[in-house]
Every structure is written in structure tokens, then in C-alpha cells.
Amino acid sequence: MKMRLAEIAKALQVQSIDEWDKIIVTSVSFDTRTLKQGALFIPLVGEHDGHDYIQKAIDNGAVATLWQDDHDKAEDNENVVFPKLNVENCLQALQDLAGYYLHKINPKVVAVTGSNGKTTTKDMIAAILKTQFNVQKTHANFNNHIGVPMTILGMEPNTEALVVEMGMDHFGELDKLSRLVEPDVAVITMIGEAHIEFFGTRDKIADAKMEITHGLKEDGILIYNGDEPLLRQRVKTLEQATHSFGSEEGNDIQALNVVGDEHSTSFRVKDWPEYNFVIHILGTYNVGNALAALSVGNHFRIPVEKMVEALSNFDLTQNRTQWVQGDQGERILSDVYNSNPTAAKMVLRAFSRVKTNGKRFVVLGDMLELGDLSNQMHADLASVLDPDKVTEVFLCGEKVAALARSLTDKFSPARVHLYSANDKDELIHTLRESIVTDDIVMLKGSHGIHLEKVLEALRK
């Protein structure tokens, strides 16, 4: 971005002074550790108060800051060298500024949500649209009330298409985000059990996911998983156009001839039988994500040939079913950013089919936000852990104890290891002693368990 501070002040309905017309803001940041020269600092109030870090922001190159009204009154702007824009609420100001900048740049907006696959789908959509447009996409999974406006404000002025990932764990969150970005295209990848602690049932999760349509433009389109009855039922009431994808008959775009191995998956599409699509990622379940991306590309009239090439070469966000090498030569399937029952089962099935001359080790962390169903859903993972295919299981956390108990009928005690979240060093030590060059290891858990520390140790 590149905006004069006076324009930002006007967008936030803050009284400006003449000098501000000469100050150029080239980025927005709420974190002094990553703040760049020329930034507007947003002192968010949360576990830590950003106002305590304003001097650090100045030292690191910020050219202006917001100042929240409920804090000790900032000096009058005319009397301070460093510009402070007084606002009622810094988070709301961040979102308001993002809305202003979005309308100024005016790209086509694709918003993506779903219980699983939204990050991978975002990456695939961005790759397809890049064949024809200047594209900005959500970094990592900056997909919440802070991450979405930061994604918007990170757009270059020549951005033609914006692909925004949207997450949620409570009602109303997608409603607010959708109304902020006003998507031209909304995508729902699937309905699973993620965050069921807060919703209680998959029906309510589906209701919450449908909030992504609340800001959908009148001439916009919803692209959704047509294999999901909960979505088929709800889209009937939508006034905007809809487009379904899936493996079942009756979808607007349907996958055929799906074939997968440890490195890639190939498939064909019913309406384009002459084309063979290949995605270089483990798991045939990712075909649904690819179909969603193809639906978006088709909506924007991207030639099928270009979509084939884009899917074959798309950049996957780090730690999403990514193969890396450990320091003993073992192959590691890293999927440590998040986990829920649906995703964990899909990855475990795929991993169990990977060919190896060595042993298979599975490392699973707690799946969070499952509420009263937590014990049952952790225990249910035993159904996809086959002792003939998996040599040892390493479990990390408190909630996975239910899985450890469920595995006693299938695995001998010596093959199941349970550690608390604070005992990762012991887990790492035991795991490293067991691994040799030909082995393969899978790691998956909710981000709050921080299995990335295990991954880092195995790669040293």
C-alpha cells in the first residue's frame, strides 16, 4: 500500500493537519518485531497493550500511530513530532481503514471458508487466478478479525484479485468478515467438526459457515461442496447464484478417475474429460479443494489449459501435509498447523498407504475446541490406526489420553507412548532413538500443542 497520512486520517474521520499530507505510509503493522520503515502502527489492546510499544515502533521506523481514546489522552497533534491519530477503538479503526482501502483498490474478491481445506483451497485459487490477474492472497492463515484486514492492507495498488481465507469459531465472525470484504465469490470447502465445542452440532456449524454469504454481492456467486447435504439444504434460500462441486452425481463440477500416491493425486473432470489434472500433494481428499479452485477459475473464464498448469505448480502454505526430511534421512509428513477429527482421519488414512522400506511412526497432538465430544472424537481416531501399518504411536497432550486408552485393544503398550504437552523433550528423545533412515513420520495436532517444536528437533 501507499497512502498519505492525511488520506488515512480522512478515512478514519480524524482531523488532519497540513504536515500529514507530506507523510507517506507504505504499510500497516500491529507488531513492532516485524514493523517496516514507513509503517502506520496499530496499537491493538489485548493480552498486551500495543500503546506500551509505541516508542519501539518509532525506533523501528513507524511514521505514525493510532491512539485509542480510552487511554491517557495523547498530546495534541499540533504539539508532537510523532503523529498520533486519535480513534475510539484501534481494532475497529484497522477494519475501517481496510474497508476504505479495499474499495479504493477495488479488486475482485474471493472469500474462502470451511472446516477443512480452506488454506490449501486458497493457495490453489490464487495459483489459478495468477495466470491472468495480479493476485494478493492471505499470508499463512491470517484469517480472523485482525488477519483479514491486514491481508487487505497488504495489497499492492495494482492488485486485480484478492483471495481471502476466513476462519471462525463463533457465530457472527464470518458475518462481520464477509461484510468487510463484500466478496464477488464465496467458497465453502466442507462442513466438519472443527470448533464443535462452541456450536454443538454440525447443523449449527453449517449455519455459521453460511454467514460468508452475508456480504456477498448481489451479482456474486457461492461455490460450495455439493456432497454435503447440510449445504445443499441451505443454499436453496440464497438469492445469489450457486455452483456445487464434488464427487457425486448432480454436482456442477464432478471429479472422476481419482488416483493418488504419496506425492501427488490425479483426476479428471466430467465436463472436461480430455484433461488430466495433477496436484502434487498427498491425499485424494484434496481433490475437493482443487474442484473448488477450478470452479472459481471457470467463473473468471480462465482457460482450462492454464488451470491444469496452475494446479500442477501451486505453492502450498508451509506445514500443510508437507513432506520434509529429518536429520537422520527419514521422511516427515508435516501437518502441524491445525487438526480436527475429519482432517486427522483423512491424513492418517493417506499416510498409512504411503510405501516405505522402513517403519511408520505417527505423532498426534490434542485436537482442541471439541467440547463435550472431545474424548469420543479422540478415541475414534483409533479406527484409522492400523497396527499392521503403523509401528508406533506418539501422543502429546491431555485430550489424546482418550485415544491412548482406545488403542489398548489394538497395539501393545510398548507401541503407544503418551506425553503431556510439557514433555516434548522426552517425546523427541524417544522418537529420535527409534527412527532410522528408511522410516517415515507423520506429525499432526492443533496449533496450540506446538508440534512444530517436535518437527524442528527432528530436522536439526
Apex 368 CA angle, 432 and 284, nearest 5: 70
In this predicted structure, the answer to whether residue 261 has a pLDDT above a threshold of 50 is yes
Say how far apart CA 330 and CA 318 lie, in whole Å. 19
Per-residue pLDDT, 319: 64
Q: Is 284 annotated as a binding residue?
A: no
**Exposure b/e, 328-346, CB count within 10 A at least 16 = b:** eebbbbbbbbbbbbbbbbb
How many other C-beta atoms can be found within 10 angstroms of the C-beta atom of residue 222? Answer: 23
Whether residue 116 is annotated as binding a ligand: the answer is yes
**Coil, strand or helix at 14:** coil
Topology of the domain covering 3-88: 3.40.1390
Is the pLDDT at 141 greater than 90? The verdict is no
What's the grid cell of residue 343?
A: 482432517
Mean pLDDT of the chain: 93
CA 171/CA 184 separation, integer angstroms: 22
Phi, psi of 361 (to 5 degrees): -115, 135
Query: In the numeric block, which cell numbers belong to residue 222?
Result: 457461492
pLDDT, greater one: 81 or 362: 362
In this structure, are strands 440-444 and 360-365 parallel, antiparallel, or unpaired?
parallel
Contact, 132 vs 126, CB < 8 A? Answer: no
% of the chain surpassing 70 pLDDT: 97
Report the phi/psi class of residue 435: left, alpha or beta, with left for phi > 0 and alpha for psi in -120 to 50: beta
The vertex-454 CA angle with 339 and 286, nearest 5°, equals 35
Write down the pLDDT at residue 140. 79
Band (81; pLDDT cuts 50, 70, 90): low
Average pLDDT over residues 207-235: 97
pTM of the model: 0.88
Report the 10 Å Cβ neighbour count for 408: 11
Within this chain, domains 107-312 and 322-459 share the same CATH topology = no
Answer whether 189's CB lies under 8 Å from 288's CB. Answer: yes
CATH of 107-312, one of 2.40.30.10, 3.40.50.720, 3.90.1150.10, 3.40.1190.10: 3.40.1190.10
Is pLDDT at 203 greater than 70 in this prediction? yes
One-letter amino acid for residue 279 of the chain: I
Cβ–Cβ < 8 Å for 22, 11:
no
- For 138-169, the DSSP string reads -STT--STTHHHHHHHT--TT--EEEEE---S
- pLDDT, tens digit, 9 for 90 and up, residues 107-130: 999 999 998 899 999 999 999 999
Give the helix/strand (H/E) hosting 273: strand 272-279
Q: Please tell me whether 114 is known to bind a ligand.
A: yes
For residues 94-114, give the mean pLDDT.
98
333 forms beta bridges with 323, 442
Burial class (CB in 10 A: 0-12, 13-18, 19+), 101: buried
Identify the CA nearest to 322 among candidates 259, 280, 276, 385. Answer: 280
**In the 8-state DSSP scheme, what is residue 214?**
T
222 forms bridges with which residues in the sheet? 186, 242
Lowest-pLDDT range of 252-256, 322-326, 378-382? 322-326
Q: Write the class of the CATH domain 322-459.
A: alpha beta
What pLDDT is recorded for position 77? 42
Length of the chain: 460
Q: Which of 94-108, 180-194, 324-338, 363-377 has the highest mean pLDDT?
A: 94-108
Q: Give me the mean pLDDT over the 420-435 stretch.
A: 95
* Residue 118 annotated as lining a ligand binding site: yes
* Distance (Å) of CA 89 to CA 43, 45, 128, 143, 208: 10, 9, 38, 20, 26
CA within 13 Å, CB half, 76: 3
- What is the band of 74 on the pLDDT scale with cuts at 50, 70, 90? low
User: Looking at residue 72, what is its pLDDT?
Assistant: 79
Q: The cell 475429519 sits on which residue?
A: 342
Using CA atoms, how far residue 263 sits from 173, 289, 308, in Å, is 36, 16, 17
Determine the straight-line distance between the first and last CA of the chain, rounded to whole angstroms. 38
Does residue 120 have a known ligand-binding role?
yes
Q: How confident is the model at residue 20 (pLDDT cuts 50, 70, 90)?
A: very high
Q: Is 424 annotated as a binding residue?
A: no
What is the pLDDT confidence band of residue 195, given thresholds at 50, 70 and 90?
low
Nine cell digits for residue 61: 521506523
Contact 96, 28 (CB under 8 A): no
Q: Where are the domains of the chain?
A: 3-88, 107-312, 322-459
Q: What is the dihedral of CA 446, 205, 141, 174, to 10 degrees?
A: -150
Phi/psi of residue 210, nearest 5 degrees: -65, -15
